[in-house]
Amino acid sequence: MSQSKKSITILGAGLAGSEAALQLAARGIRVRLVEMRPDVQTPVHVSGACAELVCSNSLKSEKPDSAAGMLKRELAELGSQLYAQAKLHAVPAGGALAVDRAAFADAVSALVEQHPLIELVREEAVDLARAAEGADALVVATGPLTSDALADALARLTGEGHMAFYDAAAPIVMADSLDEQRLFRQSRYEDAGNDVGDYLNAPFSREEYDAFIEELVNAERVIRRDFETRDLFQACQPIEEIARKGHDAPRFGTLKPVGLTDPRTGRRPWAALQLRAEDAHGSSYNLVGFQTNLTFPEQRRVFRMIPGLEQAEFARYGVMHRNTFVDAPRLLDANLRLHAPAADRLGVPVFLAGQIAGTEGYCEAIRSGLHAALAAAALLAGVEPPALPRETAFGALMAYATDPATADYQPMHVNFGILPPFDQHIRNKRERYAAYAERGAQALAAYRDELAQRGLALDGAAGTEAAS
């Protein structure tokens, strides 16, 4: 497909924007990619790199019979460029795909900066009409940290109020500051004594856990009010807010000891924190599930009560950041295109991608960038894009997120709960999940073939090896 005379402006060079830019450029469409960083920074980004990860470095499970694994298969078979880079820059994380975040962002930045059809513009977009000037379409992919000015412009365009609330990022500690005598390396359900586990584990005794929770719930927070559940993604609840729900709540969630055996005692610990490698060299570790709103001095004091972290040096403290997204069921169609009359005011088709479109998750953001790119490329080529099958993970998410009947919408990850059920219920959960994956694979193959028939697939994309 050659459309070099066509051009699309993309706002935001995060996961969704970078994927969309690379997909469109690969199809011969000129891209003006506008990114405000590093000139205008956010509270949590530290660089101007494209696709910089700011929360966890994990892209979740790669198990083929999980919803996250189904999504990765879709990314692989549709030729996602960011997913390919994630695989190239993976770090050990058990059954999950985690990346060396700096190497990943640098690699994506290089792809963007070196592509002859992509112009990377470093400026803050504050006016949607101006951003759309000279473009054949506009993609807004500015993410959860969309600037106030642009968020206000989008709210004025849509006539809908945007919603802002806080998301939480976990701290990172330096590996050489950890007490290896107190920690043990093991993935869940591995045999005790196995030294090849992908996680470090900090085991709590009952007394240590009780003392830690007492200090955690009474520690000083940056935002001095109690969060309501609706204000936060359930998956990113600050650890102190989880503890406020009940003394043992963390022990049945983030700090659950299930599947772990402390080799010092030969028994399951009372509670356990898992630490995951943050980079390929294992020089720093992420405190898994420890998103927090504690002040930096309190994080240093309280988190050093965790066994093995008594002398921990923090490469990054946990932070809270805003999340902005639109009311997708009322504003977007199945191709992530903004409904008229809102878009008509700009005079060009407008697509949204990433978390601002109302999805949650890294791979979901990448997939939405790819999806918006396919829809925009189809529009410019004058062809109708094939319908996204609901049997696929992302198809199910889009069907849910853009269904006008969906009330009180909140962003979510892909999950089996939104996939169409089978006509005949499969009682065994493992067999049911495997059947979901197989059905999704078949639907994906048919969808990919339709893309090829309509001239929307990239050469070789259909033969890309699926995630395993």
User: Would you list the DSSP string of 1-27?
Assistant: ---TT-EEEEE--SHHHHHHHHHHHHT
Contact 287, 303 (CB under 8 A): yes
| Secondary element (H or E) of residue 284 | strand 284-287
Residue 168, SS3 per DSSP = strand
Residues 6 or more apart whose Cβ sits within 8 Å of residue 33: 9, 10, 13, 17, 18, 21, 112, 118, 119, 120, 121
How is the chain split among helix, strand and coil, in percent rounded to 5? 35, 15, 45
Phi, psi angle pair for 402, to nearest 5°:
-110, 15
Q: Which of 385, 435, 362, 434 is nearest to 167 (CA)?
A: 362
| 12 carries a ligand binding annotation | yes
Contact 5, 38 (CB under 8 A): no
Q: How far is CA 242 from the centre of its chain?
A: 21
Sequence-ordered list of residues with C-beta below 8 angstroms from that of 126, at least 6 positions apart, any chain: 147, 149, 150, 153
Peptide bond into 38 cis (omega under 30): yes
From the list 344, 347, 371, the residue with the least C-alpha distance to 24 is 371
Q: Is 16 annotated as a binding residue?
A: yes
**Can you tell me the distance from the alpha carbon of 453 to that of 207, in angstroms, rounded to the nearest whole number?**
64
Please give the Cα distance from 297 to 319 (Å, whole number). Answer: 12
405 annotated to a ligand binding site: no
Position 319, amino acid: V
- List the beta bridge partners of residue 267: 262
Question: Exposure of 459 by Cβ count < 10 A (0-12 exposed, 13-18 middle, 19+ buried)?
Answer: exposed
Binding residues are: 12-17
Binding residues for FAD are: 12-17
